[in-house]
Amino acid sequence: MAQQEYDLPDDFDDYDDGAIAQVRKAHRAAQKRIKELEQELTGFRVESRKRSVQEVLTSRGFNPKIADLIPEDLTNEAEITSWLDDRSDVFQPTMAVDSDSPGEEQMGGQPDIQVPPGYQQFNEVVNAGQAPVGDESQILAMIAAAKTPEDLNRILFQNAGGPPVY
C-alpha cells in the first residue's frame, strides 16, 4: 500500500475577522448578566423570607422585632412556627390571639407584670434626669461628716433606713 499524505487546508490561518474577540465579548456580557440575575434572585429571596417571617409573627401575635433573631436558614411558615414553638419559654406573644379575658392585658397588649417596689422610684429618677443638688465637694464633705450609719443613709438614700431590701 502506498502511503498518501493529505494536505488539509488550515482555514483558520487565512481569516482574522475578530471572531475570538467577539466570542470573548459575548461571554463577558453573558457572565455580567448572570451575575446581575443572581443578585436580583438573592434580593427576591431576602424579601420573600422577610415577608413570610413577618406574616408568621403577626399571625401568631409575636412582636415583629424578634424577626432579626430567627435564623436565616428558616424560610417557610412550618419551619418558623416550629422554631417559635421550641422557644416558647423565651418568646411570648405580645397579645393573646383568641383570649378575651379581662385584666390579663393592659395598655398596648402587654401582660400585667409585677414591678418591684424600688423600680418605680428608680425609673422616675432616671426619667427626670436630674443631677444631685450641690457640688461634689459639698456632698463628699457631708458623707465624711456623717457620724452614724443613719446619717449616711439620710445623705445617700433620703431616709434613715437605707436602701430597700428585696
Contact 66, 74 (CB under 8 A): no
Residue 70 cell numbers, joined: 430567627
- Other CB atoms within a 10 A radius of the CB of residue 75 amount to 15
Whether the model clears a pTM of 0.75, i.e. scores above it, the answer is no
Return per-residue pLDDT of the chain as tens, 166 residues: 567 776 666 655 555 667 888 899 999 999 999 999 999 999 999 898 888 888 888 888 888 888 888 888 887 888 888 888 888 778 777 654 444 444 444 445 555 666 666 667 666 666 665 555 667 788 788 888 889 888 888 877 777 777 766 6
Contact 96, 105 (CB under 8 A): yes
Q: Is 35 helix (H, G, I), strand (E, B) or coil?
A: helix
